[in-house]
C-alpha cells in the first residue's frame, strides 16, 4: 500500500518538476521557435520519459543523465545557441539537485550512492522537495537579462559553466564520504545552493553588461552617421556658396565678350561654365532631404571608383519615420554595398526606395566577389581591424525590429541583396 | 483592344508617349486605342460619359485640376480601382496624397522609352487578371464577380460575407475553400475570419490592414510575421 502511494506521489511530483523546468527555462528564454501546443507537448513528453526512466531503472546516475539530455532537447525548441543551452541547463539542474539533496538530508537518513537504486522513498520528502523547487523558481524569476540573445564570449561561458559542475562534483564527494557529520553535509549543501544562485546572478549580470556594451556601440555608430549627416549638409552648403560666388565671377567676362561680338571666345567660356554645373552629380532627387543627402553624400566618390550607381526613389516628401532611423538604415546599407562592390571589377549598386500601401520598402543590390563571412547567423564585415564586427547590420536589425519591420538578406555568387520593409 | 488615355498639358510629352506606344503596338500583337487630353477636366468629362480606360498616363502638374485630384476623383468618387494610373512627373518629389491613388508607377521626365513600355506590360498583366471572375452559388442562382472588384471575404459562423467595391452579399462556403480557389490572385488570409485582396489594401501595418473602402481588418497574431515575410517577396 505504502509502495503504491509513494509512486502516486512521485508521479505527481514529477508533474510539478516538469512545470518547474518550464518556469525555469522561460527565465532563460523568451522566444520559442515552435507553436505553444508543441511546447507544452514537449514538457509532457519530458514528464513521461523522466517518470519511466526513474521507475524502470532506479539508478540515480542514469536518471541524472536522462534528465540533462531531455532538458537539452527541450532548450533546442527556443531561440539561442548551444552554449546558452548547456549553461542554462546545468545551472537549472544543479540548482534543483542541490535543493533536492538538502531535503533528502533533512527528511531521512542520507545514504546516497550513485550506483545503487534509490533507497530514499519518503512521500513526504518528495512533496517538500517539489514545493521547495517551485519556491526557488519564483525566487530567481527576477533575472531578466539572461533572456537576451546576445552570445557570450567563450571564456565567460567556460567560467560560468564550471561553477555549477564543480559545486556538484564536490557535493558528490561530500555524500560519498560517510564519515562526515550531518551538520557539515548540511553546510556543504547550503553552500552549493548559494553558489548556484550566485552563478545565476553573475550570468544575469554578465548578460546585462554585454547587452549594454552592444547598445553603446550601436548608438556610437548611429551618432557617427548623424555627425556625417551634418558634415555633408555643411559641405553641400559651402559648395553651393562657392558655386554662386564663382558663377558671378565667371559670368562677368561674358558681357564684354558678347558686346564685342567675339563668338568663338564666348562659346568657349560658356562650355566651361556648363562643366561647372556638372561637378555635383545628383543620384537622388526625391525632394526628401534625408534620402537625398545620404545617398548623394555616400556616392560622391562612386564615379571616381568606377561604380555604376542606379537609384530609383518613389516616396512622399514627408515620412513619419524618425530621420535618425532612416539615416542609420540607408547609411549602413550603402556602406555595406560600397565595401562589397569594391572587391570586384564589375562594380555596380542598385537602390530602390518605394513607398507603397503605407510601407517603405528599401532594396539594395550590389555586385560582390562571392565570399560571405557569417558568424552565428549574422553577417560580419571583413575589415579585420574593425572592433565593430557586424555592427552595421545589427543596427539595421535593431531599428527594423523596433518598428515591427522585416529585413531580408539574399545572395548568390555575384549579387548581394538586402530588402527592408518598414511600416509607417 | 486596350483603351489608353494620355493626359498632359505639354503636347510634346503627349505625342512622345503616344509614339512610343504606337511603335510598340506595331511590333507586338496588341491593339491600342489612344486618346489624348490636355487638361484633367476634359479627361474626367470624357470618362463621365461612360467611357472607360484600361490605362491612364497622367501628368501630376496639370493646369487647373492637377493629376492628384483627377486620380482621387477616379478612385474615390467613381469607385474605379480597375483603371491603372501611371503618373508622369517632372520632379521627383511626391506628395503623400499621390500614393493614396495607388498608381501603378511613376514615369520621370524626360520620358524614357523603356519605362513607358515596362509599365504598359505591367498594366497589361494586371488587366489580364481583372478579366477573371469568382463564382459562388446562393440558393439556385450562380453569381459572377470580377475578382479585381472583391475587397475581402469575411467568415461569420457558417456564412461568408463577400465585400466588393460596390456591394456586399452573403452565401454559404468555407473560407479555406475560397482561399484555395483564389491562390493565384494575391488573396491572403490575414485572420481566421478574413481573406483579403492584396490589391485593395490601402495601408498595411503590422497588426492591421486598411482596405480601399477604409474598413480596417485585423491581422491575426499568428499570421503577422508570415504575412510580413510574404510582403517582402511581393514587391
- pLDDT at residue B156 greater than cutoff 70: yes
Q: C-alpha grid cell for residue B52? A: 472607360
Are both A208 and A338 inside the same structural domain? Answer: no
The answer to whether B92 contacts A286, with C-beta atoms less than 8 Å apart, is yes
Q: What is the pLDDT of residues A407-421, one digit of tens each?
A: 998 888 889 999 999
Query: How far apart (Å, rounded) are the C-alpha atoms in residues A416 and A335?
Result: 13
B49 and chain A in contact, CB less than 8 A = no
Burial A58-75, CB ≥16 within 10 A → b, else e: ebbeebbebbbebbbebb
Chain A residues inside the 8 Å CB shell of B204:
357-359, 423
Return the higher-pLDDT residue of A276 and B214: B214
Average confidence (pLDDT) over A180-196: 76
Coil/strand/helix, residue B195: strand
Residues A190 and A312 in one domain: no
Residue B4: is its pLDDT beyond 80? yes
Residue A376 lies in a domain: yes
pLDDT at A193: 72
The sheet with strand B201-204 has its strands ordered as B201-204, B208-211, B216-218
Answer yes or no: do B210 and B141 share one domain.
yes
Distance CA B49, CA A252 (A): 59
Same domain? For B87 and B13 the reply is yes
Mean pLDDT of chain A: 76
pLDDT at A407: 92
Q: A262 in a domain, yes or no?
A: no
Q: Are residues A201 and A347 in the same domain?
A: no
Length of chain B: 235
Test the A interface: residue of B86, B94, B114, B220 with most A CBs within 10 Å: B94
Alpha-carbon span A319 to A418, nearest angstrom:
21
Nearest CB to A356 within list B93, B95, B235? B235
Q: Say yes or no: A33 contacts chain B, CB-CB below 8 A.
A: no
**Residue A129, pLDDT above cutoff 90:** no
My answer on whether B41 and B73 are in the same domain is yes
Tell which wins on pLDDT, A220 or A69: A69
pLDDT (mean) for A163-189: 75
**Integer angstrom CA distances of residue B54 from A279, A284, B5, B104, B127:** 43, 32, 8, 12, 7
Domain match, A10 and A133 both: yes
B52 sits in which H/E element: none
pLDDT digits (tens, 9 = 90+) for B61-107: 887 888 889 999 998 888 888 889 999 887 766 777 788 888 888 88
By the 8 A CB rule, do B166 and B177 touch? no
On whether residue A8 sits in a domain, the answer given is yes
In a domain, residue A299? The reply is yes
State residue A388's pLDDT score.
44
Q: List Cα–Cα distances, B206 to A324, B186, B219, B226, B228, in angstroms.
A: 21, 18, 8, 11, 7
Same domain, B148 and B219: yes
Judgement on whether residues B38 and B101 belong to the same structural domain of the protein: yes
Last residue of a domain, one of A187, A218, A249: A218
Do A212 and A285 sit in the same domain of this protein? Answer: no
Which tens digits make up the pLDDT trace of A254-272?
A: 788 888 887 888 888 777 7
Which three three-digit cell numbers place residue B131? 478579366
Q: Chain A to chain B, count of Cβ pairs less than 8 Å apart?
A: 61
Comparing A122-136, A201-215, A309-323, the range with the smallest average pLDDT is A122-136
Asked whether the beta carbons of residue A358 and residue B203 sit closer than 8 angstroms, the reply is yes
Mutant choice from A293, A319, A357, A421 vs B, greatest count of B C-beta within 10 A = A357
Average pLDDT (A75-99) is: 81
Quick check: A285 and B228 CB within 8 A? no
Phi, psi of A409 (to 5 degrees): -115, 130
Residue A276 lies in a domain: no
The pLDDT-based confidence of B187 (bands split at 50, 70, 90) is: very high
Place of cell 562643366: A275
Domain count of chain A? 2
Residue of higher predicted confidence among A26 and B145 = B145
Burial pattern A205-232, b for ≥16 Cβ within 10 A else e, equals ebbbebeeeeeebbeebbeebeebbeeb
Q: Average pLDDT of A118-135?
A: 63
Q: Which of residues 342-401 of A touch B (CB under 8 A)?
A: 354-359, 361
Domain that holds residue B52: 2-130
Domain of residue A91, residue span: 2-218
Judgement on whether residues A212 and A329 belong to the same structural domain of the protein: no
Q: Chain B residue closest to A352 (CA)?
A: B235
Domain shared by B18 and B104, yes or no? yes
> What is the Cα–Cα distance from A212 to B68, expressed in whole angstroms?
48
* Predicted pLDDT of residue A151: 67
- Whether residue B73 contacts residue B44, with contact meaning beta carbons closer than 8 Å, is answered with yes
The answer to whether residues A200 and A321 belong to one domain is no
Q: Would you state the pLDDT for residue A120?
A: 47
Task: Out of A201, A218, A235, pick the residue that ends a domain.
Answer: A218
Residues A213 and A295 in one domain: no
Is there a single domain that holds both residue A205 and residue A297? no
Question: Tell me, what's the pLDDT at A386?
Answer: 44
Higher-confidence residue of B210 and A191: namely: B210
Of the ranges A142-156, A216-230, A297-311, A341-355, which is most confident?
A341-355
Separation CA A124–CA A6 (nearest Å): 9
- Across the range A126-135, mean pLDDT stands at 71
Q: Which of residues B130, B157, B191 is at a domain's end?
A: B130
Q: Are B143 and B118 in the same domain?
A: no
Alpha carbon distance B136, A109 (integer Å): 77
Contact (CB, 8 A) for B87 and B105: yes
Which CATH number do you get for residue B192? 2.40.50.1020
Same domain, yes or no, for B114 and B150? no
Q: Would you place residue A125 in the very low, low, confident or very high pLDDT band (cuts 50, 70, 90)? A: low
Contacts with B130 (C-beta within 8 Å, 6 or more apart), sequence order:
B82, B146, B147, B148
Q: Which residues contact A125 (CB under 8 A, 6 or more apart)?
A: A103, A104, A107, A108
On the question of pLDDT at A2 being above 50, the answer is no
- Residue A116 pLDDT > 80, yes or no? no
Same-domain check for residues B62 and B9: yes
Q: Do the domain assignments include residue A168?
A: yes
d(C-alpha A305, C-alpha A322), whole Å: 32
Q: Which of A357, A408, A423 sits opposite B206 (nearest CB)?
A: A423
Residue A94 vs residues A61, A163, A200: alpha-carbon distances, Å: 13, 10, 11
Rg of chain B (C-alpha set): 19
pLDDT of residue B220: 92
Is the pLDDT score of B129 beyond 80? no
Pair (A114, A202) in one structural domain? yes
B130 pLDDT exceeds 70? no
**Residues A407, A319 share a domain:** yes
Nearest CA in chain A to B98: A316
If you measure CA to CA, which chain A residue comes closest to B106?
Answer: A314
Gap between the Cα atoms of A118 and A99, Å rounded: 17
Q: For the whole model, what pTM was predicted?
A: 0.59
Q: For residue B179, what pLDDT is reported?
A: 92
- With vertex at residue A263, the alpha carbon angle to CA A261 and CA A266, rounded to the nearest 5 degrees, is 105
Query: Are B204 and A314 inside 8 Å of each other by CB?
Result: no
Q: Which of B93, B217, B233 is the best residue to mutate to test the A interface, defined by the most A CB atoms within 10 Å of its own CB?
A: B93
Q: In angstroms, rounded to a whole number, what is the distance separating the alpha carbons of residues A98 and B56?
A: 77
Kindly determine whether residue B204 and residue A423, on different chains, have CB atoms separated by under 8 Å: yes
Q: How is residue B74 annotated by DSSP?
A: I
Whether residue A349 is contained in a domain is answered as: yes
Contact status, residue B151 vs residue B209, Cβ threshold 8 Å: no
- Percent of residues, chain A, with pLDDT higher than 90: 9
Worst-scoring range by mean pLDDT, A145-149, A291-295, A395-399, B94-98? A145-149
Q: Which residues of A touch B201 (CB under 8 A)?
A: 357
Domain boundary among B130, B157, B178: B130
d(CA A366, CA A18): 51
At A305, which CATH number? 3.30.565.10
Which H helix or E strand runs over B34? strand B32-37
Report chain B residues whose CB lies below 8 A from the CB of A316. Answer: 94-96, 98-99
Query: Among partner residues A287, A314, A406, which is closest to B106 by beta-carbon distance?
Result: A314
- Count the domains in chain B: 2
Share of chain A above pLDDT 70, in %: 78
Q: Give chain B's mean pLDDT.
A: 88
**Domain final position from B130, B160, B188:** B130
Which of A2-11, B145-154, B166-175 has the least mean pLDDT?
A: A2-11
Whether A254 maps to a domain, the answer reads: no
> In this predicted structure, what is the pLDDT of residue A387?
41
Buried b (16+ CB within 10 A) or exposed e, B105-141: bbbbbebeeebbeebbeebeebbeebeeebebeeeee
CB contact (8 A) between residue A421 and residue B231? yes
**Chain A interface includes B226 (CB < 8 A):** no
Highest mean pLDDT among A60-64, A95-99, A303-307, A371-375: A303-307
Interface residue of A33, A283, A311, A314 to substitute, partner B, most B CBs within 10 Å:
A314
Whether residues B203 and A314 touch (CB distance < 8 A) is answered with no
Q: Can you tell me the distance from the alpha carbon of A53 to that of A59, in angstroms, rounded to the nearest whole number?
A: 9
Residues A203 and A314 in one domain: no
Residues of A in Cβ contact (< 8 Å) with B114: none
Amino acid at each position: 500500500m505504502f509502495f503504491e502511494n509513494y509512486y502516486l506521489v512521485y508521479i505527481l511530483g514529477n508533474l510539478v518538476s516538469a512545470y518547474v523546468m518550464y518556469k525555469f527555462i522561460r527565465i532563460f528564454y523568451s522566444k520559442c521557435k515552435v507553436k505553444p501546443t508543441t511546447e507544452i507537448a514537449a514538457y509532457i513528453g519530458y514528464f513521461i520519459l523522466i517518470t519511466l526512466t526513474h521507475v524502470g531503472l532506479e539508478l540515480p546516475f542514469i536518471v541524472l543523465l536522462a534528465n540533462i539530455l531531455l532538458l537539452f532537447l527541450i532548450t533546442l525548441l527556443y531561440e539561442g545557441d548551444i552554449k546558452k543551452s548547456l549553461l542554462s541547463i546545468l545551472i537549472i539542474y544543479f540548482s534543483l539537485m542541490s535543493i533536492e539533496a538538502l531535503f533528502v538530508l533533512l527528511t531521512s537518513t542520507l545514504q546516497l550512492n550513485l550506483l545503487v537504486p534509490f533507497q530514499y522513498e519518503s512521500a513526504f520528502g518528495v512533496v517538500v522537495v517539489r514545493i521547495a523547487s517551485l519556491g526557488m523558481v519564483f525566487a530567481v524569476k527576477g533575472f531578466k537579462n539572461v533572456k537576451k540573445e546576445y552570445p557570450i564570449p567563450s571564456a565567460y561561458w567556460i567560467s560560468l559553466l564550471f561553477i555549477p559542475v564543480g559545486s556538484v562534483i564536490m557535493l558528490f564527494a561530500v555524500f560519498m564520504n560517510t564519515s562526515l557529520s550531518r551538520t557539515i553535509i548540511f553546510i556543504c549543501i547550503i553552500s552549493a545552493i548559494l553558489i548556484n544562485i550566485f552563478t545565476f546572478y553573475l550570468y544575469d549580470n554578465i548578460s546585462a553588461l554585454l547587452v549594454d556594451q552592444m547598445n553603446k556601440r550601436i548608438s556610437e555608430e548611429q551618432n557617427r552617421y548623424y555627425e556625417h549627416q551634418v558634415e555633408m549638409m555643411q559641405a553641400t552648403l559651402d559648395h553651393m556658396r562657392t558655386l554662386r560666388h564663382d558663377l558671378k565671377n565667371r559670368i562677368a567676362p561674358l558681357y564684354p565678350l558678347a558686346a564685342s561680338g567675339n563668338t568663338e571666345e564666348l562659346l568657349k567660356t560658356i562650355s566651361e561654365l556648363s562643366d561647372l554645373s556638372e561637378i555635383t552629380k545628383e543620384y537622388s532627387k526625391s525632394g526628401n532631404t534625408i534620402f537625398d543627402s545620404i545617398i548623394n553624400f555616400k556616392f560622391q566618390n562612386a564615379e571616381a571608383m568606377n561604380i555604376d550607381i542606379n537609384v530609383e526613389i518613389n516616396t512622399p516628401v514627408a515620412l513619419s519615420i524618425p530621420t535618425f532611423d532612416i539615416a542609420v538604415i540607408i547609411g549602413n546599407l550603402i556602406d555595406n554595398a560600397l565595401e562589397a562592390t569594391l572587391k570586384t571589377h564589375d562594380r555596380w549598386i542598385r537602390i530602390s526606395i518605394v513607398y507603397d500601401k503605407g510601407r517603405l520598402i528599401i532594396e539594395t543590390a550590389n555586385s560582390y566577389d562571392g565570399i560571405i563571412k557569417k558568424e552565428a547567423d549574422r553577417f560580419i564585415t571583413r575589415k579585420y581591424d574593425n572592433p565593430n564586427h557586424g555592427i552595421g547590420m545589427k543596427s539595421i536589425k535593431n531599428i527594423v525590429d523596433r518598428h515591427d519591420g522585416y529585413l531580408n538578406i539574399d545572395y548568390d555568387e555575384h549579387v548581394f541583396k538586402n530588402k527592408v520593409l518598414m511600416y509607417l | 483592344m486596350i483603351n489608353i488615355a494620355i493626359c498632359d498639358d505639354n503636347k510634346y510629352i503627349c505625342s512622345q508617349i503616344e509614339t512610343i506606344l504606337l511603335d510598340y503596338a506595331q511590333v507586338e500583337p496588341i491593339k491600342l486605342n489612344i486618346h489624348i487630353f490636355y487638361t484633367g477636366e476634359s479627361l474626367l468629362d470624357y470618362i463621365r460619359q461612360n467611357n472607360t480606360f484600361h490605362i491612364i498616363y497622367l501628368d501630376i502638374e496639370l493646369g487647373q485640376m492637377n493629376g492628384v485630384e483627377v486620380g482621387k476623383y477616379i478612385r474615390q468618387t467613381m469607385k474605379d480601382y480597375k483603371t491603372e494610373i501611371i503618373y508622369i512627373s517632372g520632379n521627383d518629389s511626391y506628395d503623400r496624397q499621390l500614393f493614396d491613388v495607388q498608381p501603378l508607377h511613376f514615369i520621370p521626365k524626360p520620358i524614357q522609352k523603356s519605362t513607358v513600355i515596362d509599365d504598359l506590360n505591367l498594366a497589361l498583366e494586371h488587366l489580364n487578371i481583372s478579366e477573371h471572375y469568382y463564382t459562388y452559388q446562393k440558393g439556385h442562382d450562380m453569381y459572377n464577380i470580377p475578382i479585381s472588384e472583391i475587397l475581402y471575404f469575411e467568415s461569420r459562423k457558417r456564412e461568408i460575407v463577400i465585400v466588393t467595391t460596390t456591394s456586399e452579399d452573403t452565401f454559404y462556403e468555407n473560407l479555406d475553400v475560397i482561399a484555395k480557389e483564389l491562390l493565384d490572385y494575391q488573396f491572403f488570409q490575414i485572420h481566421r475570419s478574413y481573406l483579403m485582396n492584396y490589391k485593395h489594401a490601402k495601408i498595411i501595418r503590422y497588426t492591421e490592414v486598411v482596405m480601399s473602402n477604409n474598413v480596417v481588418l485585423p491581422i491575426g497574431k499568428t499570421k503577422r510575421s508570415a504575412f510580413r515575410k510574404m510582403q517582402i517577396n511581393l514587391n
